[in-house]
Amino acid sequence: EPEVTQTPSHQVTQMGQEVILRCVPISNHLYFYWYRQILGQKVEFLVSFYNNEISEKSEIFDDQFSVERPDGSNFTLKIRSTKLEDSAMYFCASSRGGPDEQFFGPGTRLTVL
Amino acid sequence: RKEVEQDPGPFNVPEGATVAFNCTYSNSASQSFFWYRQDCRKEPKLLMSVYSSGNEDGRFTAQLNRASQYISLLIRDSKLSDSATYLCVVTQAGTALIFGKGTTLSVSS
């Protein structure tokens, strides 16, 4: 069964450093998403991406964040200058169509020291 | 006001029990409704979509009341493997999933 993959599974970084989280969505999916979950809190939407552009973003997704689909398979989330409060599990998801089921990857746990 | 509210639990039930979870959402323009399941430190996985007419999938039954802005999930004949956190999820105008904090279920033998 096709699945969303994410690398790395755990990233530790120093405050102020840039990090890039990588995702490979399911191959025939057209919509891509990033969510985050701070430990003990709810899953929060960050951004959706369709047709090579951002289609929707939340208030969390400020100028420190960017997304890119650099080639036909990868989808990345970049955090330019990490803060302590960016520590969270970051989930990538993809769907075939907008309202269709979103399939989540296993997540990248980001720890900012 | 929280967009999606759930009783956090935990709900501790014996195997074979029937358990019901409730959820309310604040935006009357919400369009799609789901229950997701999340195991500890894992990704959310779709359990079922929720329709106004109600829908059933094996031991799981979901109901939606748009007038009350209320969603429910009923699990019959609980199994040990049902132990997880159940997330109530809605969408509004776009495709973004809006999650509740989840209700934790623990099924014991």
Separation between Cα atoms, residue B79 and residue B17, nearest integer Å: 8
Residue type, B56: E
Task: Report how far residue B98's alpha carbon sits from residue B92's, in angstroms, rounded to the nearest whole number.
Answer: 8
SS3 A81: coil
Q: What is the pLDDT of residue A39?
A: 95
- How many CA atoms lie less than 13 Å away from B62 in the CB half-sphere? 21
> Which pLDDT tens digit goes with each residue over B16-61?
999 999 999 999 888 899 999 999 989 999 999 998 888 999 999 9
Mean pLDDT of A82-100: 93
Could you report the per-residue pLDDT of A3-40, keeping only the tens digit for each? 999 999 999 999 999 999 999 999 999 999 999 999 99
pLDDT band at B1 (very low <50, low <70, confident <90, very high): low
Matching residue, tokens 């991406």: A49
Residues of A in contact with B49 (CB under 8 A): 101
Distance (Å, rounded) from C-alpha A110 to C-alpha A38? 10
Kindly tell me if the per-residue pLDDT of A98 is higher than 80.
no
pLDDT for B93 equals 82
A38 neighbourhood in chain B, CB within 8 Å: none
B83 to chain A, minimum CA–CA distance in Å? Answer: 17
Q: How far apart are CA A73 and CA A57, in angstroms?
A: 21
Residue to test with chain A: of B4, B97, B101, B104, most A Cβ within 10 A: B97
Chain B residues closer than 8 Å to A33 by CB: 95-97
Whether residue B46 and residue A31 make contact (CB cut-off 8 A), yes or no, is: no
Point out the least confidently predicted range of A59-63, A69-73, B68-72. A69-73
Report d(CA A95, CA A27) in Å as an integer.
Answer: 10
